[in-house]
Structure 1
Amino acid sequence: MPEKVRIALDAMGGDHGPSVVIPGAALAQARHPDTEFLFFGTAREIEAELAPHPKLKGASRVIHTDVAVKMDDKPSQALRQGRWKSSMWLAIDAVKKGEADVAVSAGNTGALMAMAKIHLRTMAGIERPAIAAIWPTLRGESVVLDLGASIGADAQHLIDMAVMGSAMARILLDIDRPTVGLLNIGVEEIKGLDEVREAGQVLRERDLPHLKYAGFVEGDDIGKGTVDVVVTEGFAGNIALKAAEGTARQIAGYLKAAMKETIWTRLGYLLARGAFRKLAAKIDPGRANGGVFLGLNGIVIKSHGGADASGFSAAVDIGYEMVRHALRAKIEQALVPEARVVADRPAAGAAS
């Protein structure tokens, strides 16, 4: 285990750039003094933000670049203009070269995934990476993936995600053998796409040592916390995330409007502000900041683009935990016996 965790930060990423990234790094460093940072971006802006944080400055190195990926750039455009020279690419490159243990960016998600996949490439036995995140539930927290790395999934990809998601759950949720469910339109085995049913059949038959397959789960099971890990393809996962974020904001809006109706409700709100803040933090999965790109030859964390310093520090914390608890090694260990469990077997429902 390394003495220091070296974290590469895309200082220009997100809606606010260095004004959030540097204070966020300072908050994370206060919790994890054994960290060192590499900041990539406009040196003048970074150094100005570092000035009020002498401890952070002493544990940091600034690498200047004039190029930053815009939040509205298409992945192809970001690659053309930012490959080899943007703050986002250089943060990933530091991981590739072994100069950093993890890269964190609040920048354009599509560009970050494209650059990470091209430069770091996927792990042996993994065809496609996935975005995984912590989701607040009635039982506590769950891991949900894929939240939008790619559209569609065959049975092998779903199984790979089950293995990767369970490794993340073992680290962040401290569960020896996490329960895993496949998101479906019903819990009955006859329902759903062939790929989902085939993946479920394989997971049930193999009884993998690092996870406990719990069967199909439906959309409302995510918030219930029915399982520790929810697996779905990126299209459905991204819609589920955005729907949950929108619903959280809708409920918050209803509560805010209700609290302003009379002098008594206003007084009640003032007395219960702390409880409402805790409620807001629990019901919005977007506040559980830090999407992990799983399946790559390197650890990359995506922070929410609009995150404040506290939110960005949470993404840095996740990257720190992934390094300290050897996420990649755990995934590789779990993948060895089941790297190709779907190969050479008939699809679910096919004639034998």
Structure 2
Amino acid sequence: MSDGVDLVVVGAGIQGAGIAWLAAASGHRVLVLERMPAPALGTSSRSTKLVHGGLRYLETGQWRLVREALRERAWLLRQAPALVRRLPMRIPVYAGMRRRPWQIRAGLALYALLGGLGPDLRFCSLPAAEATAEGLAGDGLCAAFAYLEAQTDDAALTTAVLAAATAHGARVLHEAALRSAAADRDGVVVRWRGGEVRARALAVAAGPWTAQVLRRLDPAPALPPLELVQGTHLLLAGRLDAGYYLEAADGRAVFALPWGGETLVGTTETPYAGDPAACRPLPAEVAYLRAAFGRRFPRRPAEVLGAFAGLRVLPGGDAPAFRRPRETLVGLAGRPVRIAVVAGGKLTTFRATARRVLAGLAPALGPPPGAAALERLRLEPAPVTAGLAPLAPMG
């Protein structure tokens, strides 16, 4: 058994990479275990590619999450300008929609207030001619609003964060699936396929594999029942110049975004059971997204070039997935606390989640040295080994 590791991180998606980065930058000796042959091959390359504050979460009262996400968005725009860029967004409002113009305006005003009323939080109304310039349907259009979000290549961002962690001394092992982890008063013995190590603490950020990993921990943190929800995205022929926040026929939010030379449309929320590695776009999801896009862009081509699906981890419940809390759950276990498990998590708020995890593990790791300098850390692009999630051929 090798020794001398402060923290083992399970998972090299955006959450695990973020934990490893902040821990290593704080002076801790970090080992990352990833079950896949490269980082960001799961959910962290299968998102909507938005770095956003969560405008739609205002409807469910998740103001703290929105404030946190807007703060992290501002940090990423400032400290990772080569990876995260501003994206103009538009919200069209039609007759018969559940959300009326005054509600959208009030939501955007609250969004700006929670974000500190900075220049990136400004919004305005658009004249009909400007709103429909890209082929947006004009019939029934009551109002349209413009505001700003941000966009990233999620796999590139994850790879950059992991590269930053390794630059601070973190080691990364791929194809190293966790077998077991047992904590005692002196540390955690972590075993994986190919080796084992004693560490002072363990952080698990296993994404859709969280439930399986929990069964391999002793002790395991207490977390509420978790469910997997599949989100599918389509890549359509033709490119939009701005992003669009659309309301589907069932009232859910669907985004249509520029992505390379094409248009990315997503997402769905379909309950999922089974092997997380086997999730694939369903015909019903493809039809749903095509209908949502075609309803508002009837004159634009809707040729599907490909599709991909990823999995969210959400707390279980009877409410529809889009109405459940999106707060990241962090479960802690051990006396002193030596094990932390992340359930869920947003691309935008990975750094805030990492801070929560390291604060929870402070009894084992001690106060992180150099914490004051973490706000000044920068992210630069690194060679991407994962890239965009493979697109499923649409026959």
TM-score of the two chains, using structure 2 as the length reference: 0.29
TM-score of the two chains, using structure 1 as the length reference: 0.32
Higher relative contact order (CA 8 A, sep 6+): 2
More helix per residue: 1 or 2?
1
More strand per residue: 1 or 2?
2
